[in-house]
């Protein structure tokens, strides 16, 4: 199995010379299982260059059509914005299967993500004008699905909207992608009547997440903020470099990839923030490899 980052930026695309080395596209990861099944984790603006790559070779009647299995962590713009621009949608014979969570606020399944973006005020082409076969699979939380020779499990993370973290497993290798995730925080002070019950709830949720990540070969984590920035951003649904490293150590991950980079951060500032966190953990990392994700980074597991 292998994977490649096509978008590593959080919140909003951030093109330009200050972000050219790590890239300005928002979240998108291409995964190829051992039998070549195409699995795409999130459909941020990185999905567009991925689409161009998929169609780069000359298209002939003999060229096999694109068969894409897209898994959406959640419906915030930076994770879905590339979807209407996924060129295989416009090509007859392609098949695009979109997976994601039920939204308890709208009461709708994953098809809603596409329907909203294709509203006439936002996009000029309707779904009926698209040539591909598109189907929608709203996932049951905690129930894995099989795609080709891979299995994709999911677990509920901590974010202001329902966000599924995905574990992709194939022939004994695995990766886990958090989407957007903020470390748990008990809002009640110790001693408050509600503190213990809430703490028990958080512990149960954390256990489920840790079990889903346990022993993973590659752990890809929302590391938007520095530990100094975090207090002013608490509750926005994102993590820190330090929290990502703690998580990777706790679950016994083999390698950690920090992603969802803060959109205002230049490449130089990103490297400086990462280096400061790494310096704090230098003596605790053991065999854990820690990387800053960048567009084009490809990893074979």
Give the footprint of Zn ion on this chain (CB under 5 A). Answer: 10, 76, 78, 180
Q: Closest Cα to residue 47, out of 85, 9, 3?
A: 85
Provide Rg for the chain, Cα atoms. Answer: 19
Question: Which residue lies nearer to Zn ion by CB, 76 or 167?
Answer: 76
Minimal distance, residue 73 CB to Zn ion, in Å: 8
Q: Where are the alpha helices (DSSP H) in 220-292?
A: 241-251, 267-281
Q: What are phi and psi of 183, to 5 degrees?
A: -55, 150
Contact 134, 89 (CB under 8 A): yes
- The tokens describing 285, both together, are 């990392």
Question: Which residue lies nearer to Zn ion by CB, 10 or 23?
Answer: 10
Question: Which residue lies nearer to Zn ion by CB, 32 or 238?
Answer: 238
Contact 90, 132 (CB under 8 A): yes
Cα 251 from Cα 109, distance rounded (Å):
31
CA torsion sign, 37 to 176 to 265 to 270? negative
* Length, in residues, of the chain: 301
Cα 269 from Cα 54, distance rounded (Å):
32
Question: Which residue lies nearer to Zn ion by CB, 157 or 168?
Answer: 157
Contact 155, 206 (CB under 8 A): no
Minimal distance, residue 163 CB to Zn ion, in Å: 7
Question: Which residue lies nearer to Zn ion by CB, 78 or 295?
Answer: 78
Question: Which residue lies nearer to Zn ion by CB, 37 or 73?
Answer: 73
Question: Which residue lies nearer to Zn ion by CB, 132 or 220?
Answer: 220
Cα 57 from Cα 217, distance rounded (Å):
31
Q: Give the strands of the sheet with 95-101, arranged side by side.
A: 133-139, 95-101, 67-71, 38-41, 28-32, 2-7, 298-300
Cα 70 from Cα 40, distance rounded (Å):
5
Minimal distance, residue 26 CB to Zn ion, in Å: 7
Question: Which residue lies nearer to Zn ion by CB, 153 or 237?
Answer: 237
Minimal distance, residue 147 CB to Zn ion, in Å: 23
- The tokens describing 89, both together, are 């949608």
Cα 260 from Cα 178, distance rounded (Å):
10
Residue showing the smallest CB distance to Zn ion in the complex: 76
């Amino acid at each position: 199995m292998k994977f490649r980052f096509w978008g590593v930026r959080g919140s909003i695309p951030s093109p330009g010379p200050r972000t050219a080395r790590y890239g300005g596209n928002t979240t998108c990861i291409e995964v190829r299982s051992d039998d070549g099944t195409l699995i795409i984790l999130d459909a941020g603006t990185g999905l567009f260059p991925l689409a161009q790559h998929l169609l780069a070779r000359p298209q002939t009647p003999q060229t096999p059509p694109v068969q894409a299995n897209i898994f959406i962590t959640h419906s915030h713009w930076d994770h879905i914005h590339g979807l209407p621009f996924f060129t295989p949608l416009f090509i007859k014979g392609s098949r695009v299967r979109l997976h994601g969570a039920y939204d308890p606020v709208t009461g709708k399944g994953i098809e809603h993500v596409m329907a909203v973006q294709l509203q006439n005020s936002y996009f000029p082409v309707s779904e009926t004008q698209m040539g591909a076969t598109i189907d929608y699979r709203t996932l049951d939380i905690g129930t894995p699905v099989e795609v080709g020779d891979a299995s994709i499990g999911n677990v509920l993370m901590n974010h202001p909207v329902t966000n599924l973290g995905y574990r992709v497993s194939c022939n004994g290798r695995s990766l886990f992608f958090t989407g957007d995730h903020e470390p748990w925080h008990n809002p009640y002070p110790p001693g408050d009547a509600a503190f213990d019950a809430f703490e028990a709830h958080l512990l149960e949720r954390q256990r489920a997440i840790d079990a889903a990540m346990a022993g993973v070969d590659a752990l890809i984590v929302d590391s938007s903020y520095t530990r100094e920035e975090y207090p002013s951003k608490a509750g926005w649904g994102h993590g820190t470099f330090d929290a990502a490293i703690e998580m990777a150590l706790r679950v016994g991950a083999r390698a950690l990839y920090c992603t969802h980079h803060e959109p205002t951060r230049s490449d130089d500032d990103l490297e400086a923030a990462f280096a400061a966190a790494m310096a704090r953990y230098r003596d605790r990392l053991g065999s854990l490899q820690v990387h800053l994700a960048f567009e084009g980074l490809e990893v074979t597991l």
